[in-house]
Amino acid sequence: MAQLAPAPSPRGVPEATVARLPLYLRALTSLSDRGVATVSSDELAETAGVNSAKLRKDLSYLGSYGTRGVGYEVEFLRHQITREIGLTQDWAVVIIGIGNLGHALANYGGFASRGFRIAALVDADERRSGEEVAGLKVRHSDELEDVIETLNISIAVVATPAHAAQAVCDRVVAAGITSILNFAPAVVQVPEGVELRKVDLSTELQILAYHEQRKNGAALALTAEQAVELAKAVRG
């Protein structure tokens, strides 16, 4: 079978835009809850926390869903974005690694309301097998491949310790999974065609620390060149 487009985004929606669609969806849901029927790009951008030129450009990749001189119909636009992201169907998710974080993810209410169904929980520790978490029995990781196939899982959430992450990813990929969300603080390699996203808590804190240091230590963190500039400035 010939491929029509180079794998992702047939209509060529930029990756940066895709990453913002969930944000717009949330803003629209919030407006909808407040009973707002129509919204301008300025107002919607404000609600979503982006600038309006960017918002309009982003939406233009999906189609012409607004009305000039008026704005966007909230429900209509919400439906279009929902469809674009693929949330008109629901996606079965397996969480692998039921430690503190896995527990928290299993109990996180935000998934179900957004088109994701946590279909299975898996852990390598036999003592956890059978334990009930968030209304689901934890299964032993021997059953991982079986669970993925039987329950028609599309997305794997990896919440294992770092040392186990690569092996787990290898197994779910071999079982046919092509979308992985990795919480383990480890570099994981996956083959071409498998989408891997990572959420790394300490990385985020480190980025904050970097900026915090720049703010506090401005005077201490002068480079040699800046010191020279400063000296010149002081001399007049």
Partner DNA sequence: AGTTGTGAAGTACTTCACAGCA
Partner DNA sequence: TGCTGTGAAGTACTTCACAACT
Q: Please give the annotated binding residues, written as ranges.
A: 97-102
CB 168 within 8 A of CB 96: yes
What is the size of the binding site for DNA (CB under 7 A)? 25
Which residues 6+ apart lie within 8 Å of 195 measured at CB?
A: 178, 179, 180
DSSP secondary structure, 56-98, as one string: HHHHHHH---EETTTEEEHHHHHHHHHHHHTTTS-EEEEEE--
Residue range at the interface with DNA (CB under 7 A); choices 49-57, 82-90, 102-110, 116-124: 49-57
Task: Name which of residues 29 to 48 contact DNA (CB under 7 A).
Answer: 39-42
**Least distance (Å) from DNA to the CB of residue 58?**
7
Retrieve residue 24's tokens. 């717009």
Query: Is there binding between residue 79 and DNA (CB under 7 A)?
Result: no
Binding flag, residue 82, DNA (CB under 7 A): no
Please check whether residue 172 is in contact with residue 93, taking contact to mean a CB–CB distance below 8 angstroms: no
| Sites for a copy of itself among residues 129-148 (CB under 8 A) | none
36, 85, 136, 173: residue in contact with a copy of itself (rule CB under 8 A): 85
Length of the chain: 236
Question: Of 37, 167, 208, 228, which lies in the binding site for a copy of itself, with binding defined by CB under 8 A?
Answer: 208
Q: Does 16 bind DNA (CB under 7 A)?
A: yes
Residue 174 interacting with a copy of itself (CB under 8 A): no
| Helices 52-62 and 15-33, packing angle to 10 deg | 100
By a kind-dependent CB cut-off of 5 to 8 A, residue 42 interacts, out of DNA, a copy of itself, none, with: DNA
The footprint of DNA (CB under 7 A) covers 14-17, 39-42, 51-54, 56-57, 59-60, 64-72
